[in-house]
Amino acid sequence: MNQGTEQAWDVLIKRGYPGRAGGESDPVYPDSAVKVAKLLAESNLRVAFEDPRADRRYESHHSIDLVFPLLVFAQAIGPNLVASGLYDLLKAYAPLGRSEERVVEFHVKFYPDGKPKELRTKMRTSDTLEAVRALVEGAKDTPE
């Protein structure tokens, strides 16, 4: 990115999903990608997809597991916002209760202190929320 130009997104939804890398000739996304994009946009985050709408292909996952798209948060988004955004997303998408035992699989990349960090999970919803809650706690001491 050239200095002086503003990035057009806060969160980029990459092609593919955990366990399934999409290539340039295979712009595949999990069917959860659109709902995830809408939930992130409701949190006032600018969301973009790696591929234009007309080129995207969605795959359904008819299972109890929740498969999220690959998310990249912009470097300008601080760790507090990343952590709270992930927590809110999980709570909205997979409320606790009967879904507590569902497996959540996601891969998120963000940039605390300007260095890339990745969070990958494939755990029960309650355990995933605990992992994100720990990320929130760790980010509280980090200035935005």
Q: Where are the domains of the chain?
A: 11-139
Greater model confidence, 94 or 55: 55
List b or e across 25-59, with b for residues whose CB sees 16 or more CB atoms inside 10 angstroms. Answer: eebbbbebbbebbebbeeeebebebbbeeeebeee
Helix (H) or strand (E) holding 10: none
Cβ-Cβ contacts under 8 Å for 26 (sequence gap 6 or more): 15, 57
pTM, two decimals, is 0.76
Residue 22 has pLDDT above 80, yes or no: no
79-105 pLDDT, tens digit each: 778 877 887 887 777 655 555 567 778
Q: pLDDT-based confidence at 144, cuts 50/70/90? A: very low
Residue 52 has pLDDT above 60, yes or no: yes
Residue 50 has pLDDT above 90, yes or no: yes
